Structure 1
Amino acid sequence: MARDPDDGDGDVARRLLDALGEEAEFVDEGSFTFDPVKALEKLRSYQLVDPHGYVLLLVEAAWAAGARSVDISCGPTTQAYFTGVPLDRTQLEGVFTAVLADAGKLADAEGRRVARVQQLLGIAANAALALEPQRVEIDSVDRSGKHHRLSVEAGGRFSCTEIGEDASPGLIRFWLHGRRGGDREAQEVDLLRERCRYASFPVNLYGQRVSAGLRQVMLGLRTDRILLDDDTPIGLASLDRRRKKATLMLLTRGVLSETLELEDMDPRFIAIVDVDMRKDHSQRGILRGPIFDRVMAAVRRAHAGLVAPVRLGGEQGVRAQIDNLLRSAVGKRTPGCVATVTIGDDRPYDGVFGYLASHLATGAAVARAVGRDTVYDLGSLTRVLATTTLVAQAVAAGTLDLSDKLPLDLTPRGDRALTLAELLEHAAGLPATVAFYDEPWHMNPNRAADLCAAIPSLARACPPRTRAIESDLGFLLLGLWLERVHQAPLDRLFHDQIAAPLGIEEDIGYRRLSTIGKAKADEAIAFTEVYDVWLHQGKRQPWYDIRAIVGQGAAHGVAHDDNCLILDGVAGHAGLFGTVNAVATIGRAWLEGLPGVTAEAHAELRDRFSRSSKLAASPWALGFESWGTAGFGQLSVAGTSLWIDPARRSVSVLLANATHPARPPVPGEVRQLLKDFQRLTTKL
């Protein structure tokens, strides 16, 4: 493919071209050609952050091709097809090399349109290959009716052949065959999420038959028609056709944000409401009266936060890759997030995305953007920011020793006492957690004495030092132990020994339940869980009772951890609230020197607390996770993370409220987001 070498340096194609230079064969001073096989090999190193974004790239390709609709179906083979600009065999074969072309340099509008369609198909195919299908195929029919097929195998080998004649000119079909490790339901969920997450170009979902029930709604999309017009969509779906009043599910960027009961609603269809024209695009009108305004308000808020599909990341630089990662997480795993990275005295990355909440039960918070001053429930980061840091200071001062034994009345029953080091290393054999708010205890908020009285009757999960179990219970006990050692409450210890000396006492701390009562929380605080049975398939959860006593329908400014409430919101395993800068400041103190610890003692202390446990297969050090030479920190399934790398003098912080509007159904996805963020920050 010929290309002018004097393109602008700001062009994506130009930057990719630099990486492809060694595969270029110079024809003359003005142009050169590419081997398409080599082009694909190079493209394979550049991927979307979420490869399921190929769905949206195909829809955008249809839009660029001038199509009026695009049909998508899924199953063992996922298909998307539309009719628009005809591509001949040469143009089809060049979809990967077209990614490197600058369509804007072409003189005629038709040529630019063809090049754009080629680029989008090439990027979509490259992304789809990351899902490990048996093969990806793209069909096209040229102006003469000849039918061509480009077939790309999982290993990257491809061929382009003519497979028929007398077909409809302009037809383009994209096939994803035999996706490995997936099933029909999983693919349908992927497609649904992608359509709800993005709206960077005009797309409208057509009324679609669905099955009853939340799971069936999420999985019941068999073949969808996406109409291309000038409206931006939002989807509503029936939850239960057996009810006289239909219950609708409002999907905001793939996240259930509201349930509504409506009269006169046919449960077979998803209703589509556009942002600008205030119009219902389903096959029959279903929205009436004040309920319509509620839905439209949510739609506008969702529209304001919609992001463009993620493009190829590698050539955009590490900052853009991190941006893409976090943007793609907003709406899918969290309503918003804030991140920062410091290396030495430099701050190479800051990022702020999304909103404080997504569920309408939170009121105006769904339209309140996240900022650097947003306060997050830090969840299990409390274990390292408060408890581990206070223990380290006590060890440095000689107040505690790592071999000290937990007081007997704070020790669950077992053959021997537990040491301070074993609790810090998650090697004490304690269970991950104990639901003191549930049977048989049913403890209420601010009942610390009752909780302490129950501890000696608790069973251990295994003998000490036989396996690592990440245990909130262990750090709850450490918090109680610290209060006893210092004869002071944990929130005061954290304020006096950590926050105040570092000058961050206004930005981080505990929120004691008996002090804040039921007062309205600060507007800068991000919401966590919404206590709505519809978020749990209509089932009331065990922790709803203690939340009802607190008096919040959505956790806001009150610790999300239910055991923490029993301890009045102040515990060794949870309870801290703070900003991204405050968390980073404590991270830097672990790099440079903890308050009250001499420089010589600090270096030895940091080395000891970040040293990996000798327990087989344990990822823990003393209080921290440890990746050996890659540093130490804490990744919380609630969506918060801190990572410290002494070798690079770096501190990375990501704060998100992944427990909003409900506890993540797959906690591993949140943890993977945090790990991906940390992995990218090492490239800064």
Structure 2
Amino acid sequence: MNIKHILSFFLAVFSFYILHAQDENDSDSSATLVKNINNTIPIKSLDVNNIGFINLDADKSEFNTDDFLLKLNQYTRISRVENSLNESIIGEVQERDIIIAAISSKNIHWNTLYKLSSLLSKTKLILVSFLPLKEISFNNYVFNATTIIQFQSYNTINSESAAEIIFGAKTTNAVLEEDVNNNFKSGSGILLNKTIRMGYTSPSQEGLDEDFINRKVDSIMKEGIEQHAFPGAQLLVAKNNNIIYHKSFGYHTYDNIQKVSNYDLYDLASVTKVTGPLPVIMQLVDKGIIDIDEKFSTYWKPWRNVKNKKDLTFREILAHQAGLEPYYIFLNEIIKNRKFVSRFVSNTESNKYSVKIYKDLYLNKRFVKKMYRIINRTEVSEIKKYKYSGLSFLIYPEMIKQLTGINYEKYVRDSIYRPLGATNLIFNPIGKYPESLIVPTELDTIYRNAYVKGWVHDENASLLGGVSGNAGLFGTANDLAKLIKMYQNLGEYGGKRYISEKTMKEFTRVQYPENNNKRGLGFDKPLLNNATLDISHASPAPEVSAQSFGHGGFTGTYVWADPVNNLMFIFLSNRVYPTRNNRNLYNLNIRPSLQQVFYQANLN
């Protein structure tokens, strides 16, 4: 899908909310799954299936194509098939693995349906009929589809249900009330009684006080914006297996021009640590490639002869127990007297200056090795206690490449993001995502001299070309939720296991409580006495379970999963706009206060 198609797709967002509000009270959401050859749905393999969508209505109907496509895209990237109603249909769809076709009118493009159902033997056809099949049963092309779902009528609630059924976020148990010619008999219907992905519902459907939630969240967000904790933010919360709350507040900037939308892309900052290299490391543990109790230098050869680092274990480093320095400002190596050092930075790309760090700024590719050498020389505390450090996360991309033979960005994309359907978790989003939906971060007065937007905020990650383990990942709340839900499910999501339950439990438990270190392996954990603290001192909310885990990001991002209470919390903001000196996000305890609302809202 090119950038033009992506942008036109997102323009449908606003009409979706209007239509959803209109149809919420007149929904007939009963769906009957009448055919499902080889268990085509729920669709499980999102990484190997190229999925397209076609509207088969021949006349203008109430069916909102953009609305349905929007709902489908909540699960994975699906594009509208162009030229779907002309003679080039075969060439347009023959490379697709699955076509989702929708009908809401008796006046159908029968020729197109014939080609889809009869001439494309390798393409699976999922037909969604938003009218009783009996009304169109005079033509058997309908029944050649691989999968058929029937609704009695079209509205946005049924549209959402159809998407949820196709991707395994909703069960079906309805049967036909009358015969459909000789094809399907009254009383027939296929049951889907297990969900494999999150659906979308309201807080009240999960036993939470919706009025209380809306009142409290609105108040906290309003204060945050008024106190300049952030110009805008969004909040996504999932309870059990449903996203129950996803709402945006404020604007991208304080000039109140661009409103925050639920489809905005944020610089995740240090949330990258647990969403970029960490899932790959856990997979490598499962494969026996990494042993967390082995010396880190076993996997990172430059440390084998470094006296203060050669004996550090992988476990100590991931738990921030190794005594490594927190940070190193590598910009000081390439900027002297407020000017770039010419042997390191050029305004022209070349084989030598091949690492793009900003618009028309290219870094000498040899500087990356210099960064590793500097890390080699950094101090290590002799006292082993909790000391947060991001230095090792600068190393992981290269380590992963050396251990697997696969580029880090490609590895995490192909083994984690694409199978999850989280295609909007991306590095270097310029040209990959509508720029108007990318939230800006800070006015950089150090070396970019501009408001940073679409380029990683973290300077060290920028010197690695924007692809790092400490920062660099951008994401939407909806796609981030899929990854965090996989963690909350102890390594499984969408019918696929990504990480073993044993490894997830090991990485998410407190490693060194005897040293007053609250950390897991890579993951942050609640304060050791968190449940006894009030909201002004707790981190996160005092109500979270001791088994919960997550991570925060410098730009104002935060993710938290609570497998005991089955509650997931995602907060995204650009609190560093226009300057990182803004500290009111922390001073006002906004994130734990928001999180607490959903624990206190339990009606049970």
Structure 1-normalised TM-score?
A: 0.47
2:400 corresponding residue in structure 1? 482
Cα distance, 1:438 vs. partner? Answer: 1.3
SS state at 1:337 partner: strand
Cα distance, 1:667 vs. partner? Answer: 7.4
Superposed, 1:171-210 pairs within 5 Å as none
Provide Cα deviations, 1:502-561, integer angstroms capped at 9, x if missing partner. 0121x111117xxx59x9971100000113xxxxxxxxx5xx22x25xxxx110100001
Q: State how far apart, in whole Å, the 2-side matches of 1:496 and 1:667 are.
A: 38
Q: State how far apart, in whole Å, the 1-side matches of 2:440 and 2:320 are.
A: 29
1:620 to 493, 503, 519: 519
Q: State how far apart, in whole Å, the 1-side matches of 2:317 and 2:286 are.
A: 18
1:498 to 405, 412, 416: 416
1:626 alignment partner AA: K
Distance change (3 Å), C-alpha of 1:557 and 1:656: same
2:279 to 389, 410, 427: 389
Provide Cα deviations, 1:96-155, integer angstroms capped at 9, x if missing partner. xxxxxxxxxxxxxxxxxxxxxxxxxxxxxxxxxxxxxxxxxxxxxxxxxxxxxxxxxxxx
2:393 alignment partner AA: F
2:288 alignment partner AA: G
1:469 corresponding residue in structure 2? 387
1:421 alignment partner AA: R
2:327 alignment partner AA: T
Contact 2:510 2:525 in 1 (8 A): yes
Contact 1:620 1:626 in 2 (8 A): yes
Distance change (3 Å), C-alpha of 1:352 and 1:410: farther
Contact 1:388 1:424 in 2 (8 A): no
Provide Cα deviations, 1:590-639, integer angstroms capped at 9, x if missing partner. 12234799759622122101100215121210111112625000022321
1:634 to 551, 555, 560: 551
**Is 2:231 the partner of 1:338?**
no
1:565 corresponding residue in structure 2? 462
1:526 corresponding residue in structure 2? 439
Distance change (3 Å), C-alpha of 1:440 and 1:418: farther
Cα distance, 1:456 vs. partner? Answer: 3.5
**Is 2:566 the partner of 1:649?**
yes
1:675 alignment partner AA: P
Distance change (3 Å), C-alpha of 1:555 and 1:389: same
Q: State how far apart, in whole Å, the 2-side matches of 1:319 and 1:556 are.
A: 30
2:589 corresponding residue in structure 1? 672
Contact 1:521 1:557 in 2 (8 A): no
1:296 corresponding residue in structure 2? none
Distance change (3 Å), C-alpha of 1:681 and 1:482: farther
Q: State how far apart, in whole Å, the 2-side matches of 1:460 and 1:618 are.
A: 22
Superposed, 1:260-271 pairs within 5 Å as none
Contact 2:263 2:476 in 1 (8 A): yes
1:256 corresponding residue in structure 2? none
SS state at 1:330 partner: helix
2:550 alignment partner AA: G
Contact 2:492 2:498 in 1 (8 A): no
Q: State how far apart, in whole Å, the 1-side matches of 2:498 and 2:470 are.
A: 29
1:420 corresponding residue in structure 2? 314
1:338 alignment partner AA: Q
Higher RCO, 1 or 2 (CA under 8 Å, sep at least 6)?
Answer: 2
Superposed, 1:147-546 pairs within 5 Å as 317-331=212-226, 332-358=228-254, 366-404=256-294, 405-406=296-297, 407-409=300-302, 414=308, 416-439=310-333, 444=345, 445=357, 446-447=363-364, 449-458=366-375, 459-463=377-381, 466-505=384-423, 507-511=424-428, 516=430, 522-531=435-444, 544-545=446-447
Distance change (3 Å), C-alpha of 1:596 and 1:352: closer
Cα distance, 1:413 vs. partner? Answer: 5.8
Cα distance, 1:469 vs. partner? Answer: 1.8
| TM-align CA RMSD | 3.0
Distance change (3 Å), C-alpha of 1:421 and 1:388: same
1:603 corresponding residue in structure 2? 501
Contact 2:234 2:248 in 1 (8 A): yes
1:586 corresponding residue in structure 2? 483
Among the aligned pairs, what percent are the same residue?
Answer: 23
- Size of the aligned set, in residue pairs, is 344
Cα distance, 1:436 vs. partner? Answer: 0.5
Q: State how far apart, in whole Å, the 2-side matches of 1:501 and 1:315 are.
A: 33
SS state at 2:394 partner: helix
SS state at 1:374 partner: coil
Q: State how far apart, in whole Å, the 2-side matches of 1:596 and 1:455 are.
A: 38
Q: State how far apart, in whole Å, the 1-side matches of 2:210 and 2:566 are.
A: 26
Structure 1 runs not aligned, ≥5 long = 1-313, 360-365, 532-540
Contact 1:526 1:657 in 2 (8 A): yes
Q: State how far apart, in whole Å, the 2-side matches of 1:667 and 1:429 are.
A: 30
Q: State how far apart, in whole Å, the 1-side matches of 2:385 and 2:284 are.
A: 27
Cα distance, 1:396 vs. partner? Answer: 1.2
SS state at 1:629 partner: coil
Distance change (3 Å), C-alpha of 1:319 and 1:609: farther
Q: State how far apart, in whole Å, the 2-side matches of 1:649 and 1:462 are.
A: 39
Provide Cα deviations, 1:288-314, integer angstroms capped at 9, x if missing partner. xxxxxxxxxxxxxxxxxxxxxxxxxx9
2:33 corresponding residue in structure 1? none
Q: State how far apart, in whole Å, the 2-side matches of 1:596 and 1:573 are.
A: 27
SS state at 1:679 partner: helix
Distance change (3 Å), C-alpha of 1:511 and 1:679: same
- Larger gyration radius, structure 1 or structure 2: 1
Distance change (3 Å), C-alpha of 1:610 and 1:562: same
Distance change (3 Å), C-alpha of 1:574 and 1:448: farther
Provide Cα deviations, 1:574-597, integer angstroms capped at 9, x if missing partner. 000110011111001112234799
Q: State how far apart, in whole Å, the 2-side matches of 1:453 and 1:488 are.
A: 22
Cα distance, 1:669 vs. partner? Answer: 1.7
SS state at 2:437 partner: coil
Provide Cα deviations, 1:140-193, integer angstroms capped at 9, x if missing partner. xxxxxxxxxxxxxxxxxxxxxxxxxxxxxxxxxxxxxxxxxxxxxxxxxxxxxx
Cα distance, 1:341 vs. partner? Answer: 0.6
Cα distance, 1:463 vs. partner? Answer: 3.1
Contact 1:637 1:667 in 2 (8 A): no
Contact 2:240 2:567 in 1 (8 A): yes
SS state at 2:468 partner: coil
2:62 corresponding residue in structure 1? none
SS state at 1:379 partner: coil
Q: State how far apart, in whole Å, the 2-side matches of 1:460 and 1:468 are.
A: 17
Structure 2 runs not aligned, ≥5 long = 1-208, 337-343, 346-356, 358-362, 527-544
Cα distance, 1:409 vs. partner? Answer: 1.6
1:575 alignment partner AA: G
Cα distance, 1:347 vs. partner? Answer: 2.7
SS state at 2:278 partner: helix
SS state at 2:436 partner: coil
2:507 alignment partner AA: F
Distance change (3 Å), C-alpha of 1:673 and 1:457: same
Distance change (3 Å), C-alpha of 1:555 and 1:387: same
